[in-house]
Amino acid sequence: MLRITGKVVSIAVLGAGFLFPLYWILTMAFKPQDEWSPVGHVYWTPQHWTLDNFRQIFGVAQSTGFFTAAPTDATGPIVHSIVSATGGTLLAMAAGVFTAYGIARFRAGGSFLPFQILQLRMFPPVAIVIPLLIMYSYLHLVDTYWGLILIYGAVTFPFAVWLMRSFFVEVPREISEAAIVDGCSQWGAFFKAVLPQVRGGLAATALFVFILNWSDFLLALVLTSNRVQTAPVFLNSLQSAGAGQEYGPQAALGLVLIVPPAVFGLAIQRYLVRGLTFGAIKR
C-alpha cells in the first residue's frame, strides 16, 4: 500500500515538475500585456483570456510593441521554417537512404564509415560557421533557402543514415537476391523489392529528421538575416534589448512551433528511441 502511494506521489511530483513549464507557456500565450511580467506579482492563470497574442503573430492585429512599426507578424518566418526544414529533410533523406542501403547491404565504405558519419554529430556546428559563411558568401547562398537546405541536409544526414541502416538491416538479404534472380538489376531490386519493405521506416526517419531541422536555431541565426529568417530566430528577436520582452507573442509563437514536433513525435513514438540512439537500440 505504502509502495503504491509512494509511486503515485513520485509520479505526480515528477509529472507536475515536467508539465509546469508547458503550462506556463500555454497560459502566457493567452495573457494580455499587463499580466506578462508585472513587477512583484505573478499571475498563475490568466485573469483576462485573450487571443491578441495569436492575432499579433499572424499579422492580424497591431503589435503591442512600444513602437507600432516593430513587427510581430510571424507568418513569414513560419513559412521559411517549413520550407527549409522540408527541403533539408528531403536532402538528408535522399543522400541518407542511398548511403544507408550501401552500408547495410554492401558494407560500402568499409566498416568504419558508419562511425565516421557518427563522429560528424559530435562537431559543434558553430565550429564550422566561419568557413561556411565565407563559402556561402562566395556562392551567394547567405540568407537563401538553398543555403539553409544544404546545411540542414548535411547536419541531419548522419541521423538519416543510421536510422535507415537499422531498418535496412532488418530486411532479409533474400528479398533483394530473389528480385535479382527474377531479372532486376541491383537498382531495380533496391527500388522495387527492398524499399517497399521499409516504407514505415522511411516515414519515421523522414519525420524524425524533419523534427530536428525544424528545431534548429544556431545555424539559422548565423546564416539568415531578413529574407529567410526562420521562426525560432524570429522568436528570439521578439525579445531584444531594443524591443523589450514581448512574452505574449513569443509564447504564442512558441506554442505554434511546438505543434509539428509534438504531433510528428507522438506519431513516431515507437521509433524515437531508435532514432535518438542512432539505431543502436531498437525498441
Partner 1 sequence: MSEPALEAEGRQAPHKRLAARFGRSESAVAQTLIAPGQLLLLFVIAFPAIVAIYISFTGWTPESGSLWYQAWKYWLWFDNYWEALSGGAFWHAILRTVIITVLAVAFEFAIGFALALLFLKQFRGRSLLTVVFLLPMMVVPAVAGFIFYMLFQTDGPVNAGLTILLHDVLHVTGGIHIGWLTDPSLVIYSVTIVDIWQWTPLMFLILLSGLVALPEDQLNAARILGASYLQQLRYLVLPMMKPIILIAVIIRAIETLKLFDSAWLLTQGGPGDASSTISVYLYKTTFIATRWGYASAVAILVLIFVSILGMRAIRPIEAATRETIEELATAEPADEAPSLEQEIEAGAVAR
Partner 2 sequence: MEDQEKLDQHGDSETQENGASLSRRTFVASAGAAGAALLLGQGSAAAKGWSRDAYNRHLGKLALSAGMIGGPTGFPGASRYQYPANSAEGRAILGLKRLTNNGKKPITLSWRIWNGAVAQLNAPYPTKTAPSVAALLEKEAGVKVKFVLDTPDDNEQKNLQTISTRDGSFNILQTDYEHNGDYTEAGLMLPFDQYVAEYKPDWSDPKYGYAGGATTTALFNKYAGHYVSVSMDGDYQVWGYREDLFDNAQNQKDFKAKYGRDLEFPKTWDDHAQVAEFFTQPNNKLYGSIDLKNPGWGYVNWMMRYVSTGAPNRQYFDPKTAKPLIGGAAGIKATTEHVASMAWTYPDTLSKSWPEQYAAMGAGQAAMASMFSNCTKFIVKGSPLDKGFGQYIRTELAPGRMIGGKLVRRPVIYFNANFAINAFANKALHEAAYLVLQYCSSGRISAWYTGNPAGYFDPNRVLQLNDPLVRASYKPYACDELKTIIPRTAPSIAGMVGAAEYTLALDTNLQKALSKQISPEQAMSSTVSAWEQITNRHGRAKQIKALKAQAAAWPTLI
Q: Is 242 in the site for partner 2 (CB under 8 A)?
A: yes
Q: Is 62 in the site for partner 2 (CB under 8 A)?
A: no
* 189: DSSP letter: I
Q: Which is nearer to partner 1, 52 or 214 (CB)?
A: 214
45 binds, among partner 1, partner 2, none (CB under 5 to 8 A by kind): none
DSSP 116-140: HHHHHTTS-GGGGHHHHHHHHHHTT
33 binds, among partner 1, partner 2, none (CB under 5 to 8 A by kind): partner 2
Residue 91 CB contacts under 8 Å (≥ 6 apart), including other chains: 149, 150, 152, 153
Residue 174 CB contacts under 8 Å (≥ 6 apart), including other chains: none
Return the residue of 25, 27, 33, 195 that touches partner 2, per CB under 8 A: 33
Residues 188-217 that bind partner 2 (CB under 8 A): none
On whether the CB atoms of residues 162 and 99 are closer than 8 A, the answer is no
CA–CA distance, 34 with 53 (Å, rounded to integer): 12
Q: Is 225 in the site for partner 2 (CB under 8 A)?
A: yes
Return the residue of 226, 259, 266, 283 that touches partner 2, per CB under 8 A: 226
Return the residue of 66, 115, 123, 191 that touches partner 2, per CB under 8 A: 66
Give me the half-sphere count of Cα atoms (radius 13 Å) on the Cβ side of residue 250: 19
Residues 243-262 that bind partner 2 (CB under 8 A): 243-245
Return the residue of 42, 122, 127, 241 that touches partner 2, per CB under 8 A: 241
Q: Which is nearer to partner 1, 41 or 68 (CB)?
A: 41
Stretch in the footprint of partner 2 (CB under 8 A) among 99-107, 178-186, 233-241, 264-272: 233-241
> Which one-letter amino acid corresponds to residue 187?
W
> Which one-letter amino acid corresponds to residue 253?
L
Return the residue of 27, 143, 197, 215 that touches partner 2, per CB under 8 A: 143
179 binds, among partner 1, partner 2, none (CB under 5 to 8 A by kind): none
Q: Measured from the CB of residue 28, what is the shortest distance to partner 2 in angstroms? A: 17
Helices (H), the chain: 2-28, 52-57, 75-106, 113-120, 129-138, 145-168, 173-181, 186-188, 199-214, 218-223, 231-237, 247-267, 269-276
Closest CA relative to residue 25, chosen from 262, 213, 266, 186: 262
- For residue 190, count other CB atoms closer than 10 A to its CB: 19
31 binds, among partner 2, partner 1, none (CB under 5 to 8 A by kind): none
102 binds, among partner 1, partner 2, none (CB under 5 to 8 A by kind): partner 1
Residues forming contacts to partner 2 in the complex (CB under 8 A) are 33, 39-40, 64, 66-71, 133-134, 136-137, 140, 142-143, 225-226, 237, 240-245
